[in-house]
Amino acid sequence: MKPRTANKIATVVIVTFALLIVAILVSLLGYILIRGMSHISWDFLTSAPQKIRAGGGVGPQLFNSLFLLVLTLIITVPLGLGAGIFMAEYARPGKLTNFIRLVVEVLSSFPSIIVGLFGLLLIVNTFNLGFSLISGALALTFFNLPLMVRITEQAFRTVPKQQKEAGFALGLSKWKIVTSVLLPVALPTIITGTILSAGRVFGEAAALMFTAGMSSPRLDFSNWNPLSPSSPLNPFRPAETLAVHIWKVNSEGLAPDALQIAAGASAVLVLTVLIFNLAARYFGRFIYRKLTASKRMS
């Protein structure tokens, strides 16, 4: 074959495959949203699920997912920030630092089901916290922490060196430089990354099946006492999240409209993740403009 013909064929193949991926995404999103949207209503979003009858909603599941996300972020953000800043600014290159890097890498590549099983063994059984929101949040911490560390470290590393040097030249202490010079510049990237990781946590199911549990007790949304078993705010109650609910409905759902519920819940899940993605972009830019003197984000 002549090289020019080969070139033409190869180009056509590459372009076709690339467009195929775009087509996959468009049809995937289109399918999920079109099938699911018709089933989403205010009632679907707020009512409790039905076991055998049709017409159940995903209200408690949606609430559980959001509450669990908040709990997880409360735990992981400070820890991840601390470890990430340490890795970027304080750790000296050496065997120990390499080892910590390996730990982060291994931890972030563990399958989520392993994280769930570990949570089952340690948190649910050994610490005796049972299937509860707090167990789920801790399991998600193991899952999310390496991600946060990486995001923070990368955000700090991309800050121009001159800004740090300027801080030193002014005689500022290392701590002052980290908190008042580097952090504001790195913050937009960190916030963007955190919101994106929140999207991942929101859709996570395998790690939660064995920690947060696969059932949700009857919730009384007028009861705001966090210690009462029927209160939605009680962190020690079992909590099925939206993603786990989709799995359960698909694999063992008995309701006659199980497929529609799965479709509706999937659409809610995907929409929420899309909103997280958009929010990440918007917020990152917004905070950058607030915290730094620049008017435009490069």
Partner 1 sequence: MSFCVLLLIVIIISMVYFVASKGVANFVSGEVKVSEFLFGTKWSPEADTPSYGAFPFISGSFLVTLLAALIASPLSICAALFMTEIVPGWGKKLLQPVIELLSGIPSVVYGFVGLSVIVPFLRDTLPGQGIGVAAGALVLSVMILPTITSVAADALASLPQNLKESSFALGATRWQTISRVILPTTFPAIMTGVVLGMARAFGEALAVQMVIGNAPFVPHSLFESASTLTSVITLGMGNTTMGSPQNNALWSMALVLMLMTFVFVLLVRMLERRNKI
Show contacts with partner 1 in window 131-150 (CB under 8 A): 142, 145-146, 149
Q: What are the CB-based long-range contacts (under 8 Å, 24+) for 270-278?
A: 270/29, 270/32, 270/33, 270/36, 271/33, 272/199, 272/202, 273/199, 273/202, 273/203, 276/195, 276/196, 276/198, 276/199, 276/202, 277/195, 277/196, 277/199
Among 48, 106, 170, 297, binds partner 1 (CB under 8 A): 106
Could you say which DSSP state residue 214 is in? Answer: S
Nearer to partner 1, 231 or 276 (CB): 276
Backbone angles phi, psi at 222, to 5 degrees: -95, -5
Residue 169 in tokens: 């030249």
Among 41, 48, 82, 256, binds partner 1 (CB under 8 A): 82
User: What gap in Å lies between CA 185 and CA 183, rounded to an integer?
Assistant: 5
The minimum distance between CB 51 and partner 1, in angstroms, equals 17
**Residue partners of 240: CB distance under 8 A and separation at least 6:** 60, 61, 64, 212, 213, 214, 215, 216, 248
User: With binding defined as CB under 8 A, does residue 105 bind partner 1?
Assistant: yes
Length of the chain equals 298
Among 33, 45, 66, 122, binds partner 1 (CB under 8 A): 122
Sign of CA dihedral 199, 200, 206, 210: negative
Among 37, 45, 47, 86, binds partner 1 (CB under 8 A): 86
User: With binding defined as CB under 8 A, does residue 87 bind partner 1?
Assistant: yes
User: With binding defined as CB under 8 A, does residue 250 bind partner 1?
Assistant: yes
Among 34, 48, 54, 121, binds partner 1 (CB under 8 A): 121
The minimum distance between CB 249 and partner 1, in angstroms, equals 9
Among 33, 206, 279, 291, binds partner 1 (CB under 8 A): 206
Among 55, 130, 203, 217, binds partner 1 (CB under 8 A): 203
Cα–Cα nearest to 219, from 64, 53, 65: 64
Count residues binding partner 1 (CB under 8 A).
85
Residue 296 in tokens: 């435009």
Among 199, 232, 238, 253, binds partner 1 (CB under 8 A): 199
- What totals of helices (H) and strands (E) does the chain contain, helices first? 12, 0
The minimum distance between CB 22 and partner 1, in angstroms, equals 5
The minimum distance between CB 271 and partner 1, in angstroms, equals 11
Residue 277 in tokens: 């993605």
By CB under 8 A, the residues from 150 to 189 that bind partner 1 are: none
By CB under 8 A, the residues from 13 to 32 that bind partner 1 are: 13-18, 20-22, 24-25, 28-29, 31-32
Among 104, 159, 177, 186, binds partner 1 (CB under 8 A): 104
By CB under 8 A, the residues from 30 to 69 that bind partner 1 are: 31-32, 35
Q: Is 32 exposed, middle or buried (0-12, 13-18, 19+ CB in 10 A)?
A: middle
Among 37, 270, 279, 291, binds partner 1 (CB under 8 A): 270
Nearer to partner 1, 190 or 246 (CB): 246
Nearer to partner 1, 143 or 231 (CB): 143
Among 66, 79, 172, 279, binds partner 1 (CB under 8 A): 79
User: What gap in Å lies between CA 199 and CA 43, rounded to an integer?
Assistant: 24
